[in-house]
Structure 1
Amino acid sequence: MPALDNAQKSKRNTKGHHGEGHRARLRERLLNGGSEALLDHELVEYLLALAIRRQDTKPLAKDLIDTFGSLSALLTADGESIRKVTGMGENSTAAIKIVQAAALRMVSEPVREQPVLTSWQALLDYLRADMAHLVHERVRVLHLNSKNRLIRDELISEGSIDQAAIYTREVIKRALELGSAAIILVHNHPSGDSTPSRQDIAVTKDICDAGRKLGIAVHDHIIIGMDGHTSFRSKGLI
């Protein structure tokens, strides 16, 4: 093959990626029309384009949406699962997860800055964003001070697709260590159905009884599912 002359080399080096025009159009639609101007896979496509500079990311974006079922499910998926999708690497996976991290910071701000009981809807929005699409059950305890402000949001247990352990003694012990005046129990149902099980009801009663003896109130137990949420207090279970 004959050597390229300087003009040919310069032309090759400055030639843009074949998708640059498409990316520019996505960028223009995003900046002028906001997030609603782009479809879900287009949001992912442009995001991936920032991490994968010289590749058409549209097919990969569509693969990710198809694999996880929705944009929300993709953003909340664990990094290991995302990396398993052909074409994904550390940088592109990190790009997906940083969006989730930023979104959670945004929706959790009212919960962190205001008394929880006066920002209840914000709390529910935060919990749903964080837990609704998880494929394994997780249990969290929100610890509150006497003014119902959040002291600590702790993950205390992670289990299988249908069960995670909640130990009354450990929950109360931790509340005493933190000086919590009240707690809110939270866990998710990966099945999508937020209806409490008999075990959920029984362990909640045990924690309420133990907390009452030590002056620790249980404001609620919230179960998060794809169908929404169930509040034990609103259902008269506390």
Structure 2
Amino acid sequence: MARRTAEPPARPGLAEAAAPAPADETPHYHGHRERLRARFAQAGAEALADYELLELTLFRSIPRRDVKPLAKALIHRFGSFAEVVSAEPARLMEVEGVSAGVAADLKLVEAAGRRLARGAIAARPLLSSWSALIEYLRATMAFSGREEFRVLFLDRRNHPSGDPAPSGADIRMTREIVSVLDPLGIVVHDHVILGRDGHASLKGLKLI
């Protein structure tokens, strides 16, 4: 004779307790991105630290990863937002997480900044004051990875002056350039030495 044994009654709530709750698949950094975008929209770039502005830039290059550590690593390596976007692509890619595409996007930001600076200056007298001259030179040269010598064509009303002392080599090079250009009727009005933290004018120091 066959006999069917009764199954033990199910314990209430056992199945529900054993099954894990569905995890939230939204990455934790999505909320951070929206908050950062909102701060930028409401208060502007001046309300953001350099690494936060860099995060905003990296959002489009790296859409599916937390980019705050990378932004901080880049600022730590190069010093500032301006120096990050001005760095050579090869140096940028030395930082783990920076691909060729990310480096290209950062260089696009630099190119846009330079184009904007040139456009703003083109809309008004080019170099009408000492502060305008320094603003222009800092925008175009201050964060370059190599030394540059530029010729600026000025009118008779712009005579910048400065205080820092240039090197002997700077003075000799400038005087040689003056002596070469003078017979051609080209006047060297000044030699402005621009560094990251300051500037110097040889004309203002009466060295040319």
Structure-2 change in CA distance of 1:93 and 1:195 (3 Å) = farther
Q: What is residue 201 of structure 1 aligned with on the other side?
A: 171
How many angstroms does 1:210 deviate by?
2.2
The SS at the match of 1:54 is coil
How many angstroms does 1:141 deviate by?
2.8
* 1:108 counterpart = 2:118: yes
Of 90-99 and 18-27, the range deviating more from structure 2: 90-99
After superposition, where does 1:7-86 map in structure 2 within 5 Å? 15-86=25-96
Q: What is residue 121 of structure 1 aligned with on the other side?
A: 131
Question: Conserved in 1, the CA contact under 8 Å of 2:86 and 2:145?
Answer: no
Match of 1:220 among 182, 186, 190: 190
Mapped partners of 1:79, 1:126: distance in 2: 24
Counterpart residue type for residue 168 of structure 2? R
Counterpart residue type for residue 89 of structure 1? S
Structure-2 change in CA distance of 1:110 and 1:48 (3 Å) = closer
Q: C-alpha offsets along residues 58-89 of structure 1, whole Å, 9 cap, x if unaligned?
A: 00000000011222221221222112111001
Q: How many residues are treated as equivalent by the alignment?
A: 181
Query: Is the strand fraction higher in 1 or 2?
Result: 1
Work out the percentage of aligned pairs sharing the same amino acid: 43
How many angstroms does 1:221 deviate by?
0.9
Mapped partners of 1:34, 1:92: distance in 2: 24
Long gaps (5+) in structure 1: 1-11, 149-193
Question: Conserved in 1, the CA contact under 8 Å of 2:88 and 2:145?
Answer: no
Question: Conserved in 2, the CA contact under 8 Å of 1:82 and 1:93?
Answer: yes
The SS at the match of 1:142 is coil
Mapped partners of 2:109, 2:201: distance in 1: 28
TM-score normalised to the size of structure 2?
Answer: 0.75
Question: Conserved in 2, the CA contact under 8 Å of 1:48 and 1:57?
Answer: yes
How many angstroms does 1:207 deviate by?
1.6
Of 68-77 and 129-138, the range deviating more from structure 2: 129-138
Counterpart residue type for residue 74 of structure 2? L
TM-score normalised to the size of structure 1?
Answer: 0.67
Q: What is residue 210 of structure 1 aligned with on the other side?
A: 180
Mapped partners of 1:23, 1:227: distance in 2: 33
State the structure with more CA Rg: 2
Long gaps (5+) in structure 2: 1-21, 159-163
Mapped partners of 2:130, 2:112: distance in 1: 20
